[in-house]
Chains A and B, each alone.
Chain A
Amino acid sequence: METAVLKKSAKELGVKKRVQINKKQNKQLLVLCLPAIAFFITFAYMPMYGIILAFKHYRFDKGILGSSFVGFDNFVFFFTSQDALRVTRNTVFLNILGILLGMSIAVILAMILNEVKSRPAIKTYQTIMLMPHFLSMSIVAYIVFGFLNMDLGIFNVWLKRIGMEPIMWYSEPKYWITILTSVRLWHNVGYSTLIYYAAIIAIDKEYYESAYLDGAGRFKAAIHITLPMLMPMISVLFVMNMGRIFHADFGLFNLVTLDSSMLYPVTDVIDTYVFRMLKSSTNLGQSTAVSLYQSFVGFILVIITNIVAKKIDSDNGLF
């Protein structure tokens, strides 16, 4: 009952969407977009011709345009490699885990933060949660090392103190799904929480007023007001994240793991794998090819996810 009522009042308050705007206004809006458009043309679209490198055998004296076409040859090295499946699986799995956990925890935290009344307290919590994001991944790797290193790491010191055997953390793949996801959460959740919090405080108090008047509790209000009002933001972020699903954070998977090969069954992802393959001889065509593959898959996923999101509610989605 509540959801229908609440949604109805939401629509009532802002129902008249501007269906018509005149030509002059259209032009004005266009002008507002011009600087950004100029930037994108200059810095994003002009260099985009570099993508054709994925189909060329690059020779320095011939340059990007002069080098010869080799069709899909540059893709072969990756797709025929024995571990392509393993790394793709790892990339996708760990990314999805990270996205789902990250988003749900951030939304919950934002809602909880909304309950805190004291402004100084809110500021403190936000600052602390955001701080890890300021640290670069190489520092994060050191911190993790401080906890996990074999002889002097804090975890092993504690294990020894309670009489247990120290664990060679960097050699046991089984811990690393948890470790990597936790590190990633620690690094990112402050950022996402901030976004959702900003979105929550923009929700009109009127909705909550009428809900409480109708006798709804805080919990119900959260589910039936906050969540639906956050949906546009959640779905947008979800779709955008899906676009990056084949890309892995190189710092996280290479630096934090200390590039320990014993962990590869779990931690080897597309980016680290390709990096390793091309270490012996940088082949520009091949690395561009893999990038293109990652982008292309991401693009398809964005389209699909967006369609699904729109089907649920036309307000959702990226486009």
Chain B
Amino acid sequence: MIRYNWVEKLYSVLANLLMIVLCIIFVVPLILVVSISLDNIDEIYKFGYSFLPHKLTFDSYRFLFLKTNTVLNAYKITIFITALGTTMGVIFTSMTAYAISIKAFRYRKMISYFIIFTMMFSGGMVASYIFMTKYYNLGNTIWVLILPGMVNAWNIILMRTFFMSIPDTIFEAATIDGASEYRIYLTIATPLAKPAYATIALFLSLAYWNDWFKAMLYISNEKLIPLQYLLVRMLKNIEELQKAEHVMDSAQTFPSETIRMAMAVVAAGPMLFVFPFFQKYFVKGLTVGGVKG
């Protein structure tokens, strides 16, 4: 164990100080978001944005939750696709990452190229749309929100790098015992790479939680609308109506800045509660102790 003397203490204090200063800078704009969401739009137009609401009001949130059923349903959908997508995604990503982290794996280079190529080149939105709707029949199903985003090259490569930092001798020992690769993957590699799992799981959850684009393209069934798209479409519809008809459509309620900020809080807020759940896997040093002796 590292001895805890006064030099350690000093470094720790300095580190803490630096982080606190940094975090204050980071948090300031976030406070602004929350403050605006609780403010009154007329006051903002008169006096500008401020870190403390001029006139505290929950109107913006009330507006968003007006159609409570729709919002609750959207939360349900988003939670479902995030949970399922992240779980399956982490499993498939880690399986592949583990395999290609083994230097002696015969198909390592081939599969790596195969995967990385997809990160560089894409067939474009139209071709994807054709496949999704015509050939795979995924249009307007919940699966179109889950499947395409499950596995991506970036995450695989990231995890592979994590796996590669585990010394091979550990695996060596297991193979001598006659364990299959599946066993090694499950019982040895995975526990050792907990921070990696937590990281990828976090990134996947974030991606699923925030995605609205696929819903916009593929979903027309109201019961399948996820949270983010619900919010974004409120904005986009108004923008579109404003542009197109000027006058012909009678005035719709403009989502003022306060409402947009409330949307951001409603959309991003839950992540604040999810994140600590992943953090407990960022545990230090359960590594090579198992090898020596």
Residues of chain A whose beta carbon lies under 8 Å from any beta carbon of chain B: 13-21, 24-26, 28-30, 32-33, 35-37, 39-40, 42-51, 53, 64, 109, 112-113, 115-118, 121-136, 138-139, 142-143, 146-147, 149, 151-154, 157, 186, 190-191, 194-195, 197-199, 201-206, 208-209, 212, 217-218, 229, 232-233, 236-237, 240, 243, 284, 288, 291-292, 295, 298-299, 302, 315, 318-319
Sample of 27 A–B contacts (CB below 8 Å): A13-B167, A16-B168, A18-B103, A32-B185, A35-B151, A36-B93, A36-B156, A46-B135, A47-B124, A50-B124, A50-B128, A113-B19, A123-B276, A124-B23, A127-B275, A131-B272, A134-B210, A136-B267, A139-B264, A142-B260, A154-B49, A194-B199, A198-B162, A199-B195, A209-B2, A284-B126, A299-B120
Chain A residues with CB below 8 A from B120, complex form? 243, 295, 298-299, 302
Interface stretch (choices B57-65, B78-86, B94-102, B240-248): B94-102
Is the beta-carbon distance between B275 and A116 smaller than 8 angstroms? no
Whole-angstrom CA separation of A218 from B6 in the bound complex: 13
Separation of A208 and B264 alpha carbons in the complex (Å): 43
Query: A42 contacts B105, CB within 8 Å?
Result: no
Across the two chains, which residue of chain A brings its CB closest to B192?
A: A202
Q: How far is the CA of A44 from the CA of B172 in the complex (A)?
A: 35
CB distance from A282 to the nearest CB of B (A): 11
Docked CA distance A136–B207 (Å): 11
Interface presence of B202 (CB below 8 A): yes
A258 vs B121: C-alpha distance when bound (angstroms): 29
Contact indicator A35/B123 (Cβ below 8 Å): no
Interface centre among B2, B120, B235, B267 (most CB of A within 10 A): B120
Interchain CA distance A284-B123 in the complex, whole Å? 12
Q: Say which residue of A42, A203, A233 sits within 8 Å of B136 (CB atoms).
A: A42
A243 CA / B157 CA spacing, docked (Å): 14
Q: Are B198 and A198 in contact (CB under 8 A)?
A: yes
B282 interface residue (CB < 8 Å to A): yes
A33 and B100 form a contact (CB under 8 A): yes
> In whole angstroms, how far apart are the Cα atoms of A209 and B292 in the complex?
14
Is there an interface contact between A36 and B96, defined as CB atoms closer than 8 Å? yes
Tell me, in angstroms, the Cα distance from A233 to B159 when the chains sit together.
Answer: 10
- B169 near A: Cβ within 8 Å? yes
- Cα distance, A115 to B12, chains bound together (Å): 5
- Tell me the complex Cα distance, A53–B124, Å: 9
User: B residues within 8 Å of A by Cβ?
Assistant: 2-3, 7, 11-12, 14-16, 18-19, 22-23, 26-27, 29-30, 32-33, 36, 44, 47-49, 92-93, 95-96, 98-100, 102-107, 109, 111-116, 118-124, 126-128, 130-131, 135-136, 147-148, 150-151, 154, 156-158, 161-162, 164-169, 171-172, 175, 180-182, 185, 193, 195-196, 198-199, 202-203, 206, 210, 235, 257, 260-261, 264, 267-268, 271-272, 275-276, 279, 282-285, 287-288, 291-292
For the complex with contacts A48-B122, A131-B26, A190-B26, 13 further pairs of A-B residues with Cβ separation under 8 Å are A21-B104, A21-B175, A30-B99, A39-B150, A43-B131, A53-B126, A53-B127, A64-B127, A112-B18, A132-B29, A138-B260, A186-B26, A199-B195
Residues in A whose Cβ lies below 8 Å from that of B275 = 126-127, 130
Q: In the complex, which residue of chain A has the Cβ closest to the Cβ of B116?
A: A318
A154 neighbours in B (Cβ, 8 Å): 48-49
Q: Beyond A126-B279, A139-B261, is A21–B15 a contact (Cβ under 8 Å)?
A: no
Contacting residues, chain B, for A115 (C-beta < 8 A): 11-12, 14-15
CB-CB under 8 A from B147, the residues of chain A are 39, 43
Known: A29-B181, A32-B185, A121-B16. A47 touches B127 (CB 8 A): yes
A199 CA to B98 CA in the complex, in Å? Answer: 16
> Taking the nearest CB of chain A, how far is it from the CB of B233, in angstroms?
13
In the bound complex, residues from chain B placing their C-beta under 8 Å from that of A299 are 120-121
Given the contacts A40-B118, A194-B199, A198-B162, A33 and B26 also touching, CB distance less than 8 Å: no
* A118 to B202 CA separation, bound complex (whole angstroms): 22
B-side contacts of A129, CB under 8 Å = 22-23, 26
Contacts of B100 in A (CB 8 A): 33
Which residues of B have CB within 8 Å of A203?
Answer: 165
Q: B33 contacts A143, CB within 8 Å?
A: yes
In the complex, the answer to whether B261 meets A18 with C-beta atoms within 8 Å is no
Q: Are A151 and B264 in contact (CB under 8 A)?
A: no
Residues of chain B lying within 8 A (CB to CB) of residue A157: 48
